[in-house]
Structures are given as structure tokens and as C-alpha cells.
Chain A
Amino acid sequence: MPAAVLALTLAGLAVAVAGQGYTPFLLALVALVTVVGAGLNILVGLTGQISIGHVGFYAIGAYVVGVLTTGTAMTGVVNFWVALVAAAAIAGVVGALLAVPALRVSGPYLAMMTIAFSFIVEHVLIEWRTVTGGQNGLMNIAQPSFGFGIDGERSLAVLAVVLAGAALLFFHRLAEAPLGKAMIAVRDSETAAQAVGANPVVIKTVAFALSAAVTGAAGGVFASLMSFVAPSSFPFTQSILFLLAVIVGGAGFTLGPVIGAIVIVLMPEMIASLAEYRLLIFGVLLLVVLWLAPEGILGTLTRYLPQPARRTPEGSAFDLAGFLGDSARAPLIVRDLTIAFGGVKAATNVALTAEPGRVTALIGPNGAGKTTVLNMISGFYRPDAGSIDLGGRELAALPAWRVARAGIARTYQTTQLFGSLSVLDNVLIGLGRGDTGHPLASPASSPDRTTAEGLLSFVGYRGALDAPSEDLPHVDRRLVEIARALATRPKVVLLDEPAAGLMRADKLALGSVLRKIADAGIAVILVEHDMALVMGTSDHVVVLDAGRPIAAGAPAAVSADPKVKEAYLGSGTMAVRPRAEPLAAGRSLELDAVALEAGYGAVPVLKNVGLEVRQGELVALLGANGAGKSTVMRALSGLLRPVSGTIRLGGECIEELPAHLIAASGLALVPEGRQVFAELSVRDNLMLGAYVRTDSTLQEDLDAMFARFPRLLERADARAGLLSGGEQQMLAIARGLMARPRILLLDEPSLGLAPAIIDELFAVIAGLRDRGVTLLLVDQMAAQALAAADRGYVLESGRVVRADQAAVLREDPALEAAYLGGLETVE
């Protein structure tokens, strides 16, 4: 890449020196827009912030050079080069100042703030007449000379090209440097960035200041090139064009701004002869470019480039204890931790001690406050009272990034990887612990890379190192997140439901990793619903209910505690719930699929899948992670289109229908992860479930639903996003039932639920079955699913490999080894 920039710069210099007519002038303009683009790319491409006010920084740079080189009473006439440095510096400082309020806002709010900024600059330039010359601007701005006959416009073209080359190299180096990676990390997940010790305030402020300084320097050269500036030289639309140069070229690509600048400077020149129609045609051409390359020209082109060969981590004998060093092992002592949200106490007097070298489990029903406690320990929430003591240091009320630097690392219920960064970079950022160094610091060293690889192999990650982490399958995300947490050399690791959504084999592997982590001397705090994992790996268990600790002790003692059984484990039997009466044969087909094939992009996921669900049946669909279960559900419900093959609902073909028409035909899917409308009330969620219905019995159904799920009635007017996981799952099912569907599809309903709730959930499902509702169920709790089901299908790599009566599948030893084994979890 640096070679490409160098070659472009040399080519530019040749044109600047030898070009005839107004070519050097145009080249200078292209180069200046490139410089601004490179500066703006720091914001747009790295921190992901959109600025529609960069013309303000450009104008500031231009006026600093204009005012200083034409002379003021205070400074006299200032040398051009000094003025140029001042332009960059002043713009940079203004950028840092603007960052202060801008940090608090995002999205359209940030866009508005930057627009307002550029208008303030414009009007200050107009009103501050004694300095800026007002509306009619500044004339006769100095132009530097390089000698050798290179002067005037030519010298500025040379300067602009050199500056452009430097700006591109700067961007390239920054993007590779730890600081640049940290900027991307903050964009992808600010929460997780803090949790590895990065301070988003500093990182975003630096990004703003750097971006503004680069833009200011370009403005300074622009003033000299034009030798005249006025407020109207910097119209608001110029900001949009700058942004366009970045987007059209490809945000985040080093060379993107070059291409963008060529498009937005040269395209209008090519159509200059259209005179009054130029702007019209330019607008149309911009649209055409956007339509052709919506991800930017480079973004679109790289999709056709061959992907580099994938590398996977090597070696498994990573010495974690050695990596951690002999930093003092210290216990984490939490006392009387209390927090309330809007009067609701989420945690009251929680106390626990996590000893180094031990796994401390924190369990409890959904909504018990487990994640809230983790959030307080990791500094994401500020506790109302209580102390968090790590080796004698008080951590309560410190910001998250300080807590992280003090030695507390964590993972999240929903993984929070830096999605656009590679797997390796995710871990490398952890290694840096937020110490990003200066903008031009060298990229991660080779020993660091080896360490990161070692950590990945330690946690059992076997996938590609350079794949963007957002493309990873579920299991691998969990593993990478754990590796990233370990990379910060923590004293304490907090793990929030690491086993959720994992199959049994993966859970076993995870359990041994947790053990190894503890054995290396780290205090592990584990929040988890999978009781087998909790009982198998923990040394100490703390049980929370309704924000209060109700029991603590050794795993066996805790699970025998009647209070714990009542609050958390439920009846503890995970009862098999067979039908009272066998289902009559000869029932009509409700839903069937024949030769179903579907996939994402070019990758087919489902191959020749066939299944059928008869009226009143409960059919279970089983398979490992990534076998294609959810893809089947998405294909059946119409969320995934196009598909090939046939899908019939009540005999009617629906494979070409979009989701909303399929829903109207009587198929309701309760999607994976509940997907309630978080900002709408519980009641509104239920009413929307009945959106397709036109009959007048809605209110009765609503009452019936509240009667069946009394917890929902209590919270009928609360925002659904505030419900606990179990409540949300009940809401999602109730919402699905409100449609009075001919068939209800349930995708992973037990995910993330406490044992007692899972028990309750399967009771509800069995109840629906007994009332004659036709059901298709996908669940990782395969044993429970089969216990309630009439028939089952087993999916492997997108193909149906078994189809049989549920009772037969239940007894199959091969299946049991692979997927079942859920039933023995508790007792």
C-alpha cells in the first residue's frame, strides 16, 4: 500500500511539474480533496462518525493562512509555512473542542451538530469583518515558491500532491496502528472497547482533532492556491462533497479518497460545457455512481478480488500462567453492592468473594440481577452503594476502562466482538489493554501476534485468524471473546452465560477451558444457566433472587438448598410430558416442504430438505449448531427469500410469498432471541401479534392471553424491552398465539432461560400441544423437545438425516451422544 501511495504521489508530482494549462491547478484541487478525504476517513472509516461540517475546518485552515500571510496588526505578515502549520494546529484544536459536545451524541444528532458547527464558522467569518474581510473576503494571499521555475500554482500543486501523499500514508499507518484499531473497536462496540481498557472519550477526541487538523492543512493550501477566499468559497454543499469523496471511494480504504476526489473534482470539469445544466447532470451522475457502487468504488471492487489464504492458530501448549506473569494474585471482594433503576431495586446488598484460581458461579432466575452485578463490577453501571475491592484497591464508581486496566475482564451474554476487525486483531486489542500509543505507533509486533495466536488456541479456537469476527459462527464468537478477555492479563474474568446456545460437546470443552483459566491463577466469575456446567466446573456458587443473595456455598450444598430449588431450579425433574391420549392417525397436512434449498449469498445452507407437520402435531427439529435449523425456520416463514423447492401451507404453495403474506396465511414464527418490540408496551406487542386478524374477538383473546401469562398482565403497560428474558419469551409466544395461527413455529425458545423457567416453558408448549395447536419446534434442549414432541427430524449440514417418531429418536444411542443428555443436567 505505501508503495502504491508513493507511486501515485510521484505520478502526481510529474504532472504538477510538467503539466500544461490548468492541469496543475486541477491536480492541486484533486490533491486537496484527497487530503480532506483522508482526514475525514479517520472519522468515517475508523470511528464511524459522520461529519457534515468538515468545510468548517477547511475554511478555518484557509482563513488562518489567509489572515496570517496577508498580515495582522498583532502578528505582522507571517511566513506561509508557519501559517500552514498554524492552520493545521488551530483546526485541530477546534476539532478537539467540537469533539467535547459531539461525543455525547451519535447518528443524526451528530450530523446536525457538525452542520451547526459549519454554519457557525461561516457566520463568524462573515461577521468578524476586521479580521476576515467579511463577505467579500481576503485578497492577495501569498503563494510560496520552490525555485527552479516552480512557483505560483505549480508550486502549490507540488505542495498539494506531497500533502496528499503524506495524508494517505498517515491514514494508512494510523489504520494499522493500535490507535487506529482502537478507533474501529470503539465504533464496533464502545462497551467492549471500554472493557479492554480503551477510553472512548480520548480515542474519539483524538480522531476528531486529527481529522480536523488534516482538513485544516488542506484548507491552508487551498487559500494560497486561490489567493482569494470568501465565506462563499466554502458553501455547505462542499461538506457533502467531501463526505461523498470518502463514501464514493470506499470508507476505510486508504486509497478511497483519491478515487472519490477524482470523481467529485474531475466529473464536474468534464461536464463544464453544459453550463447551467451542469449541476443538474452532476446530481444525476452522483446518483448513478452511488447506485453502481453503494459500498464505494474500492469496496465494490475488492469483493471481486481473491481472498487471501486462511491461517488458523497453531500449537496448543500455551502457558497461560506464564503469560499472566507473577502479578499479585488478589481476590475480588464485593460487599453490599446495591443499585436501583427508577425506583426498582435491581440488586440489594450483594456480596461475594472470588478467590484467585477458583471458579465462582453466580446463578439465579432470569431478572435476578446477575448481569447487573457483572455490569457494576466491570464499571458499566455505577453502584448506588457498596464496595468492589480488588487486592485492596477500590473499584466501585470507576469508569469501565479504568476497571479493565485494573485487571477485570469480561465477556457478554450477546457477544460483543469488534465485528469488522479480524479475530487476531480482536485479541491484539486486548493485549494492548487500551494503551494505544501515538497515532503513528507501529502495528502489533510479531511476539504479540504469537501470543494472541497462543491465546486463541488455548481457548480452543480452530477457525481462521484473519476472518472478520462478525462472520464467525456462534461458538467461535464465544471463544474469541474469552481469548480477548484473557489477553488483557486480567486478575478476574467475568463470563456472562458463555454456554448459551452451545451444544453439549462444546459445553464440555468450554468447561475444561474455564477450569484451565482458573488453574492459571485467575479468579473466574461465571454467570450461567446450564447447571451441568455450573456444577461441573465451579468451586463456589452464589445464588441471587430478585437482586438479593439467597444462598452461597459449595455446588452440591447449594443445589440441595430448598430455597434455591424453589426460586431457580423449579421442580428439578424436567419432566417428560407425554400426551394424555395418542394422536389420531390420518390427519391432514398443515405444513410441508419438499426439496427445499436455501442459503445466504452464494453459500447454500439447506440441501434438499423435506419435512411435514400434520394438523395438531408437535414436531421437533434437531441438529447441531450451524446445521441449518434456524435457516429452515426463516425459509418456511418467508424471512429468507429466494428459496427453491416447494413449501405448502394448508396445501397452498408459499415458497414465493414474502413473510408478511405468509403470516397473513396463518403461519406464525416465534423467532430466535424473542425479538419483541422493545420500545412498545407489552399490550401493544400482543395487539401487533394479531395484526393480520380482522375479526372482533381480539379483546377476548387478549384477556385469555393475560389469564394464561399473569406476569404479562402485571407488566402490560411497561416497555417490552424492560422485561426479563423469561418474560420476553412468554410474550413472544403469546404474541405468536394472538394471530390464531394454523401453525406456530418456535425457534430456540429456551435460549438463555433459567432451569425453572425452561421447565415452565415446556409445560406451556405441552399445554398448547394438548389444546390442539400445531407446532414446529427447534430447541437446543433436544431431550426436552423430544419428550414433548410427536415426531422429530434431525438436521446435519443442511440435510435431513433422520426422521422418526419422537419416542424412537429418544432411545437412539447415537443421537443421545450427539445432541441429547439434557435430561440428566439437574439431578
Chain B
Amino acid sequence: MRSRFPARRLTRRAVLAGVTAIASLGAFPASAQESIKLGLVAAMSGQSAKSGEAIVRGLTIAADEINAKGGVLGKKIEIIVRDDESNPAKGAIAARELVQREKVAALFGGLDTPVSLAIVPFANSSKVPFMGVWAAGTPITRNGAPENYVFRVSAVDEIVDEALVAYAIKKYGAKKPGMILINNPWGESNEKGLRKALETRSIPFAGIEKFETNDVDVVPQLTRLKAAGADALFLVANVAPSAQVVKSLDRMGWDVPIVSHWGPAGGRFTELAGPSAAKVHFIQTYTFTGKLSAKGAAVLDALKKKYPEIKSLADVTPAVGIANAYDAMQLTALAIAKAGTLDGPKIRQAFYEIDSYDGLIKSYKKPFTVENHDAIGASDYIFTHFVDGEILPLTQ
């Protein structure tokens, strides 16, 4: 009579154990096929999950295009994705696993600068090209290694900050701007860049305020900036926190010019920030709105076909992630083709030898040189703002 309960518990445990076993079995990587493996280490979960998704989409569309034309070196490209949970340690593990177990020919990086920084020394020492498609921290590509394997198709914070400061002065005649920055590595990196850009022009700043991703109310910080006499604001934050800044400004009734990094570029900025969203002028490398190039139209079509959940332009977001990843994949494939091998040093050399590539963001001419591992330069940025939910370029 008393044995009834233990027996039932045992059965339940057996079932649970079975589930565990199956889950872990199914998790082992599929056996290797004849393909070129390329790895991605990016934030696929948590608050930055959307960025990881955008990068995967950009890479996938480009890879599909390449594979449809016969692949590279006669092999198909296969993308292997790992989640870094925005944790540098996890990113470092994932990079090793991709290179040493999956034997990927090159790595792509994600949103978070510290994660990329954690991978840089490993990429250089194991001689595997590491292509950044988002993280904009300056030292990622300028890492001081004698043989630098790190390339990037994305913004560089220092250059962006230069552009932001120049824009604020030219457009708004800012004399004493303030900074409202997200309290994360990205915000800190831009604090450095903005300070430097202001210093070279000998312009004082009203204050530097930070806020957290999940802060509901930024009024205390903004009130300090207002009290300090800020005549324009530099904003560095992702979509949702940027929207909180705009809403807080609205509530304070403070109408101040806002010059922003590319954070608000997510398609829902208007929905989140309300009508004042249009006041935010932000920098961009690429948007799918307005009149598209042939390439832009083709990529957009491919996106809609591949991902049925994309119904409108607002779902193509964040556009920069998709566009950067797309061009980065194309450039990497070109380099591999040029190298004619999957040997890391040869691919690195081949990156320098790419003459031109007619890409999504722009037409690249000699995108990489030994001195410059960043394919996107100061002239490639445009300022934009939201009009009726669409990102439109601003004429300077």
C-alpha cells in the first residue's frame, strides 16, 4: 500500500530522465557536410535578441543568393549560429567552439562591443578572420595586433560621434550640448567619442547623464541637463530606451533638438515614442524606405519571401543590422573566392585584394586596406528622421 507512491514517483522520474536524454541527444550538431561553414556569435536571446535575428536574416539572404549561384569554391555556404547572451565569456567560448570543433572558415560578430573584444585576441591568435557587422567600438578593429584578422562592415563610434557633433553645430548651432546615454558599453564608448569630438572644437558640454535600458522615467536625468543649460541633446540608446527619453521630454514640455546615434532606427520608434519621434534626427548607414536601388529591392523581396512574418517595412528591422550583415557576407564570400582556400591567413590577404563590390549600403572601392579594416567611412553616414512611420533622409 505504501509502495504506491514511490513507484509513481519513480515512473515520473523515468519520464523526466528520458526527456532530458532526448533533449540532449537532439542537441548534438548534425554531421558535417561538404560546405563552407561560417560562424556567427551574437546575442540571440534577451533584450538584444532582435539584433541577432536581424544579423541572421542579413547573412542568410546573402548566403542564399551566393549558394543559388553555385556557392563559393564550388561549395555551399552554411551559417552556424551561437548565442552569446551578451556575455563576453559566453562569446569567447562560442568562438572557440565554432573554430575548434565546427572548423568554421570565418566568424561574424554581433551587437555587443565587449563580446567582440573578448573574441578579438582569439581570432588573431588562431588566425581566423572575424567580421564585425554591428558592434561599433573603435578598438575592435584597431586592436594593435601585428597580424590583424578583424574586419568590420559597420559604424565606428568615433567617426559617428564626429558626425553627430558636426551635425548638431551645423544644423542647430549648438553651443552647449548635453549627452543622454544608455548605461552600457555602447553608451560609454560614445561618451568617449563625443567628448573627444567636442574637445577638438573646444565646445563645452552641459552634462553627461546615463540611464538604464529598463528605466521608465528619464525625467530626473533630463531635468539636470535642462538645468545645466543644454541647448541640444546627443542621444545614444536602442529603440525602446530612446523612446523613453522622447516621452520624458514630452512630459517635461522641453522642446530641445535631439541628435541621435542609429538606435531609433528600429521600425517601431514612432509607435513607441509617439508623435515627437519625428524630432529625433539620427544617423544611418542604410534604410529600406524611400526609393530603393535595384539591389535594395531585390534584398527586400528575398526577405519577404524567406520570412513570411515580414509584412511591412516596419518589420524589416533593424535595417542596419540586416544591411551590414548582408554586405559583410558578400565581402567575406568574395575574399574566400579570391583566396581560393579556407586558410585563414590567405583569406585575410584576400580581403585587402577586393577591388570593388557593388553592395547594398554603397559601392565599395578597396573596402579594406592594411591600415583600414573598416569598410564604412565618414562619408557613408546619412541623417534621417521618421515621417509617418517611415525613415526619410534629411538633406543637410
Q: CA separation between A20 and B17, bound complex, in Å? A: 30
**Contacts A139-B139, A272-B94, A642-B1 given; does A279 touch B45 at CB 8 Å:** yes
Chain A CB within 10 Å, residue with most, of B30, B44, B81, B89: B89
Q: CA separation between A114 and B97, bound complex, in Å? A: 33
21 intermolecular pairs with C-beta atoms under 8 Å apart: A22-B96, A22-B99, A29-B93, A135-B183, A135-B184, A135-B188, A139-B117, A226-B89, A228-B114, A228-B120, A230-B118, A232-B184, A233-B114, A269-B97, A271-B27, A276-B52, A276-B53, A288-B19, A597-B1, A602-B2, A642-B4
Excluding A136-B137, A644-B2, 18 further A-B contacts by CB distance (< 8 Å) are A20-B100, A129-B188, A135-B187, A136-B114, A152-B125, A228-B88, A230-B185, A232-B86, A232-B114, A269-B97, A270-B27, A276-B45, A276-B49, A279-B85, A280-B45, A281-B23, A288-B19, A291-B13
Q: CA separation between A26 and B17, bound complex, in Å? A: 25
Kindly supply a per-residue 1/0 record for chain B positions 98-118, scoring 1 wherever the CB is within 8 Å of any chain A CB and 0 otherwise. 011100000000001111011
Q: Are A235 and B28 in contact (CB under 8 A)?
A: no
Q: Are B117 and A279 in contact (CB under 8 A)?
A: no
Q: Across the interface, which residues of A come within 8 angstroms of B53, CB to CB? A: 276
Chain A, interface size category, equals 35 or more
Kindly supply a per-residue 1/0 record for chain B positions 182-195, scoring 1 wherever the CB is within 8 Å of any chain A CB and 0 otherwise. 01110111000000
Chain B, interface size category, equals 35 or more
Q: Across the interface, which residues of A come within 8 angstroms of B121, CB to CB? A: 139-140, 227-228
The chain A residue with its CB closest to the CB of B90 is A268
Interface: B87 (CB within 8 A): yes
Interface: B233 (CB within 8 A): no
Interface: B385 (CB within 8 A): no
Interface: A6 (CB within 8 A): no
Interface: A105 (CB within 8 A): no
Interface: A704 (CB within 8 A): no
Interface: B92 (CB within 8 A): yes
Q: Are B2 and A642 in contact (CB under 8 A)?
A: yes
> Which of A20, A136, A235, A279 interacts with B113 by CB under 8 Å?
A136
Kindly supply a per-residue 1/0 record for chain A positions 50-86, scoring 1 wherever the CB is within 8 Å of any chain B CB and 0 otherwise. 0000000000000000000000000000000000000
Interface: A292 (CB within 8 A): yes
Kindly supply a per-residue 1/0 record for chain B positions 28-72, scoring 1 wherever the CB is within 8 Å of any chain A CB and 0 otherwise. 111000000000000011100100110000000000000000000
**Contacts A272-B97, A292-B13 given; does A642 touch B5 at CB 8 Å:** yes
Q: Across the interface, which residues of B come within 8 angstroms of A597, CB to CB? A: 1
> Which of A26, A134, A235 interacts with B93 by CB under 8 Å?
A26
The chain B residue with its CB closest to the CB of A644 is B1
> Which of B20, B88, B99 interacts with A289 by CB under 8 Å?
B20
Near A by CB (< 8 A), chain B positions 1-31 give: 1-2, 4-5, 13, 16-17, 19-20, 23-24, 27-30
Q: CA separation between A135 and B192, bound complex, in Å? A: 12
Q: CA separation between A291 and B15, bound complex, in Å? A: 11
Interface: A278 (CB within 8 A): yes
Q: Are A136 and B45 in contact (CB under 8 A)?
A: no
Q: Across the interface, which residues of A come within 8 angstroms of B83, CB to CB? A: 272, 275-276, 278-279
Interface: B261 (CB within 8 A): no
* B interface with A by C-beta (< 8 Å): 1-2, 4-5, 13, 16-17, 19-20, 23-24, 27-30, 44-46, 49, 52-53, 80-83, 85-89, 92-94, 96-97, 99-101, 112-115, 117-118, 120-121, 125, 137, 139, 143, 183-185, 187-189
Q: Are A274 and B185 in contact (CB under 8 A)?
A: no
Near B by CB (< 8 A), chain A positions 687-719 give: none
Q: Are B16 and A291 in contact (CB under 8 A)?
A: yes
Q: Across the interface, which residues of B come within 8 angstroms of A222, CB to CB? A: 89
Q: Across the interface, which residues of B come within 8 angstroms of A280, CB to CB? A: 45
Q: Are A232 and B45 in contact (CB under 8 A)?
A: no
Q: Are B117 and A233 in contact (CB under 8 A)?
A: no
Q: Are A269 and B113 in contact (CB under 8 A)?
A: no
B302: min CB distance to chain A, Å = 21
Q: Are B20 and A288 in contact (CB under 8 A)?
A: yes
Interface: A21 (CB within 8 A): yes
Q: CA separation between A269 and B139, bound complex, in Å? A: 29
Q: CA separation between A137 and B183, bound complex, in Å? A: 14
Q: CA separation between A271 and B27, bound complex, in Å? A: 5
Chain B CB within 10 Å, residue with most, of A226, A269, A284, A289: A226
B282: min CB distance to chain A, Å = 22
Q: CA separation between A278 and B115, bound complex, in Å? A: 18
Q: Across the interface, which residues of A come within 8 angstroms of B115, CB to CB? A: 232
Interface: A736 (CB within 8 A): no
Q: Are B185 and A136 in contact (CB under 8 A)?
A: yes
For the complex of A and B, list the 3 residue pairs with the smallest distance between their C-beta atoms, beginning with the closest: A276-B44, A21-B100, A135-B185
Q: Across the interface, which residues of B come within 8 angstroms of A235, CB to CB? A: 85, 87
Q: Are B28 and A270 in contact (CB under 8 A)?
A: yes
Q: Across the interface, which residues of A come within 8 angstroms of B185, CB to CB? A: 134-137, 230, 232
Q: Are A288 and B24 in contact (CB under 8 A)?
A: no
Q: CA separation between A392 and B309, bound complex, in Å? A: 88
Q: CA separation between A644 and B4, bound complex, in Å? A: 12
Q: Are B85 and A137 in contact (CB under 8 A)?
A: no
Interface: A340 (CB within 8 A): no
Q: Are A272 and B82 in contact (CB under 8 A)?
A: yes
Q: Across the interface, which residues of B come within 8 angstroms of A271, CB to CB? A: 23-24, 27
B90: min CB distance to chain A, Å = 8
> Which of B82, B99, B101, B125 interacts with A275 by CB under 8 Å?
B82
**Contacts A126-B183, A273-B29, A275-B83 given; does A25 touch B88 at CB 8 Å:** no
Kindly supply a per-residue 1/0 record for chain A positions 272-315, scoring 1 wherever the CB is within 8 Å of any chain B CB and 0 otherwise. 11111011110011001101100000000000000000000000
